[in-house]
Amino acid sequence: MFNESQVLVIGGGLAGSEAAYYLASRGVKTTLVEMKPKKFTPAHESENYGELVCSNSLKSNDAYSNACGLLKEEMRLLGSMIIEAADNTKVPAGAALAVDRDKFSAYITEKLKNCPNLTLVSEELQTLPEIENGGGRYAIIATGPLTSEPLSEDIKNKFGGGLHFYDASAPIVSAESIDLERAFTGDRYGKGTGDYINCPMTKEEYYAFVDELLRAERAHLHEFEKGEIFEGCMPIEVMASRGKDTLRFGTLKPVGLFDDTGKRPYAVLQLRLENENGTAYNLVGFQTNLKFPEQKRVFSMIPALKHAEFLRYGVMHRNTYLHSPDVLSRDFSVTNNRNLFFAGQITGVEGYVESAASGLLSAIAIFDDLQGKPRRVFSNETVCGALQTHISTPNKDFQPMNANFGILAPLPVRIKDKKERYKALAQRALQTIKTMGEK
């Protein structure tokens, strides 16, 4: 499988694509193995690399007020191809970095296919590669939370078994089927350029919607157990079951939104552009496990979606991840094998950007080795370093983690104002990244 390659990367998602490109573009002979198009997981459809399975949003792009935005900027400084792809295929989404998902994965695929020193192989690996600790070759396992069953079993047998949780995606509707007379455009708090379509509901409409949402029939999941739903991708019907006002203070909160008359609605569903040509919109925060006919029936109760054409229904699938603190070092290498790495959501980082970051950090560690330099491990002053700490710090209750300011090292001086505190944390992080080596 290696042929003349020094590095074998298994998995062509965000983490694997990021790692493979980083190394190959710097002269390291690399092989990237992806089982598509020979075999697809239940959640994948495209033959391209870097396919987005759930949302088309990479979250906030503001480095000074949002930790995920800061992580993107750290990755830009470190030479991230994935963030480059997002920047070049973005669609209007207020302060968020959302992409045309087809153009995004096509951009990544083109970069990989045209990258010198990179060999692309379509094959399903069923066992982990034999990698000598301290040898001259390396492997990065970036097969994602939907790792195929044979390889998943091999990983489980060799590393004590992974944990798992259930993840969900939101529906997509056609733009022309949205009733714009019952909606208004605008971004929360006026941020952005009016990129979202807002679907308001009156008090009566909201509670009728919640009632039907709670009655709706859900799709059956084998081996589904209570407590296995990840909070960051909570299905809308599960959130509603926590109380009839939960959605109005969460996904459907009207705060910062005013209709054309200047009135704030009782509840609001936001729709975000799904592609560059504006033909499809994503129901923001509407991850769901309802049966498809139920999604059509219940979500069409929202006035602006009364005649909505659903281009894709929401789905729910099982995600797996390692109990990484028992398995991985801070550089994402296996504790008893410096030459074998894991990257992506399988490590317990949660989110598109976080997954790509883990691939980038793994590649940086390998590249440093090959250059005869000490491996760079970033400090907790950066989001990159804080994620490295998260996946490697002993924790019997280890759970997937998104980027957030709470995991960064505190400032030496307390700043009460949250906006100013986040800005100071971001400035410190970016300076640290620059000091440790730009792209």
Average pLDDT over residues 191-208: 92
Residue 358 has pLDDT above 50, yes or no: yes
Question: Whole-angstrom Cα distance, residue 286 to residue 172?
Answer: 10
The pLDDT-based confidence of 152 (bands split at 50, 70, 90) is: confident
Question: Whole-angstrom Cα distance, residue 330 to residue 320?
Answer: 20
pTM: 0.79
**Which pLDDT value is given to residue 207?**
97
- What Å distances lie between residue 226 and 285, 318, 365, CA to CA? 21, 13, 38
| Residue entry with tokens 């192989």 | 121
Phi and psi torsions of 317, nearest 5° = -145, 160
Core vs surface per residue 91-106: b (16+ CB within 10 A) or e: bbbbbbbbbbbbbbbb
**Which pLDDT value is given to residue 35?**
86
Residue 439 has pLDDT above 50, yes or no: no
The pLDDT-based confidence of 38 (bands split at 50, 70, 90) is: confident
**Which pLDDT value is given to residue 256?**
92
Question: Whole-angstrom Cα distance, residue 93 to residue 24?
Answer: 32
The pLDDT-based confidence of 221 (bands split at 50, 70, 90) is: low
Other CB atoms closer than 10 Å to residue 406's CB: what's the count?
A: 9
**Which pLDDT value is given to residue 192?**
76
Of the listed ranges 100-114, 116-130, 174-188, 229-243, the least confidently predicted one is 229-243
Of the listed ranges 162-166, 246-250, 286-290, the least confidently predicted one is 162-166
- Beta strands 96-99 and 57-60: pairing type? antiparallel
Q: Which two tokens stand for residue 438?
A: 């730009």
Report pLDDT digits (tens) over 64-106.
999 999 999 999 999 999 999 999 999 998 889 999 999 999 9
**Which pLDDT value is given to residue 4?**
76
Question: Whole-angstrom Cα distance, residue 75 to residue 84?
Answer: 9
Rounded percentage of the chain residues whose pLDDT exceeds 70: 93
Average pLDDT over residues 275-289: 88
Residue 397, classed as helix, strand or coil, is coil
Residue 108 has pLDDT above 80, yes or no: yes
Report pLDDT digits (tens) over 325-354.
999 999 999 999 999 999 998 998 988 999
Average pLDDT over residues 261-287: 91
The pLDDT-based confidence of 213 (bands split at 50, 70, 90) is: very high
CB contact set of 329 (below 8 Å; sequence gap of 6+): 335, 392
Domain ranges of the chain: 7-160+322-436, 168-318
Q: Which two tokens stand for residue 295?
A: 């999604």
**Which pLDDT value is given to residue 422?**
94
Average pLDDT over residues 251-256: 94
Mean pLDDT, the chain, as a whole number?
89
Report pLDDT digits (tens) over 423-433.
999 999 999 99
Residue 404 has pLDDT above 60, yes or no: yes
Maximum mean pLDDT: which of 207-211, 274-278, 377-381, 402-406: 207-211
Phi and psi torsions of 404, nearest 5° = -160, 155
Q: What is the DSSP letter of 401?
A: B
Average pLDDT over residues 2-9: 85
Half-sphere exposure of 246 (CA within 13 A, CB side): 16
Q: Which residue has the higher pLDDT, 291 or 47?
A: 291
C-alpha gyration radius of the chain: 22
Give 64: exposed, middle or buried? Use CB within 10 Å, 0-12, 13-18, 19+: middle
**Which pLDDT value is given to residue 228?**
60
Rounded percentage of the chain residues whose pLDDT exceeds 90: 66
Question: Whole-angstrom Cα distance, residue 283 to residue 298?
Answer: 13
Q: What single string gives the DSSP state of each residue in 341-358? A: EE-SGGGTB-SHHHHHHH
Compute the Cα dihedral for 397, 401, 404, 409 and give only its sign: positive
Average pLDDT over residues 146-151: 80
The CATH number of 168-318 is 2.40.30.260
Half-sphere exposure of 276 (CA within 13 A, CB side): 11
Q: Which two tokens stand for residue 190?
A: 């006026």
The fold of 7-160+322-436 is FAD/NAD(P)-binding domain (3.50.50)
The pLDDT-based confidence of 230 (bands split at 50, 70, 90) is: low
Phi and psi torsions of 235, nearest 5° = -60, 145
